Amino acid sequence: MLILLCLLAAVMLALGFEMLLVMGVPSVLARFTDFPNIPEAVIAQKLVGGVNVSTLLAIPFFIFAADLMASGSIAERLMTLVKRNMGHRTGGLGQTTVVSCMAFGSVCGSAPATVAALGRFLHPELVRNGYPERFSLGLIASSAECALLIPPSITLLVYAWLTGTSVAALFASGLVVGIVLGIGFLVHVRLVTARENIAPLPRATAAERWEATKAATLALGMPLIILGGIYSGLFTATEAAAVAVAYALLVEVGIYRKLGLADVMRVAEQSALTIVAVFILLAMGSLLSYFVTLARLPDMLLGLLTDLHVNWVVFLLAVNIVFFIAGMFIDPNSIMVVLVPALFPVATALGIDPIHFGVLVCLNICIGMITPPFGLDLFVTSSALNRPVETVIAGIWPFILTNIAVLMVISYVPAISTALPRLLGY
């Protein structure tokens, strides 16, 4: 019967059902077909209790903070600071795009928010300075991925909830891997701009650089407060998220005066819709994970791999392929809650470090965000910049290859992921 329920989920996905139904309907049916002795109240308990976790409270705070900063002036000030210091280099404006996305990712943790906040400033400048349209769109969409790795990362928070891994350790690892991914994009931009002979921007004066630094000082304070507070033990990741909201409100409303009360209410409504959608998926994922565990699916998968004499090298290759295919059709949060509960026990049984596996999963999610035909950031970029999604897709393929190259390095050089967390004592 379990096989039939899996087929039902696949058919529902192919027919275009919402992911909450794709996960929820087979889970509920499993209770009546395979586990009839389980009380019906367990379904409600798992739906509510699964998301009644203090770690998850950080997600709505970080989403709200990200939306506040995307609607305010923090993004523009960070971008200006990077441009004044890097624009005169070969490929400087393209590299400014990458570093700006990394910088904004360090204060918001959301790839769609990064695209929406920075794309409207960066895209016109890229095109105006001779960068091809397709390349510019692909660069913005792919560079925003770094926000999913560089803390505070909402994706890593979900992984921590699913597996019980330390949030602080994952944030430390994500910082390193996010920088490695950013370096990959910087090299990519340098090669393309040198080949296309795209002229750099004029060198900014010392006064212009100083002015940009002063303007962005408060924006730069956000990652220092969040990460400094977490690693000093001053507050937890959840408390850091609440501080991020308070800081964003103080800076954007009280100091920069970019947002008024009506703007804050509008942003709050927008954030609430996003938060509800995320938590419905997480609740359904919690229910699905419960029945996956009862069905002993991880044990069966581990037994199959043992019989086939599969080692960790082959397993990680298979994981990367599965996530790549899933990313073409399923949204990131759904991929996490469906695949991680089944794969994580197998990974640990094969001796793979939970932190290494976590950032590897997150990097796969990054690739899924830009993988056609249904990568979320493709549509966010198309909508935010008012460009056809086909044009965005046409420009994204070279960056997917760069992502895959970085993914292979991270997969098979675990020390990149684990060195900093171990240095910090995690």
pLDDT digits (tens, 9 = 90+) for 49-63: 777 777 778 888 888
Q: Are 69 and 107 in contact (CB under 8 A)?
A: yes
Q: What are phi and psi of 328, to 5 degrees?
A: -70, -25
Cα(122)–Cα(104) distance, integer angstroms: 13
Per-residue pLDDT of the chain (426 residues; tens, 9 = 90+): 556 666 777 777 677 677 777 777 877 777 777 777 777 777 777 777 777 777 778 888 888 888 888 788 887 888 888 888 887 887 788 888 898 888 887 777 777 878 877 888 888 888 888 889 999 999 998 998 888 888 888 889 889 988 989 988 999 999 999 999 999 999 999 898 888 888 888 888 888 889 988 888 888 888 888 878 877 778 887 888 888 889 889 988 888 888 888 899 998 998 888 888 888 878 887 777 777 777 777 667 777 777 777 889 999 999 999 888 888 777 777 788 888 888 898 899 889 999 999 999 999 998 988 888 777 788 888 887 888 888 888 889 999 999 999 999 999 999 999 999 999 887
Cβ(370)–Cβ(396) below 8 Å: yes
Residues 6+ apart with CB under 8 A from 384: 115, 116, 119, 120
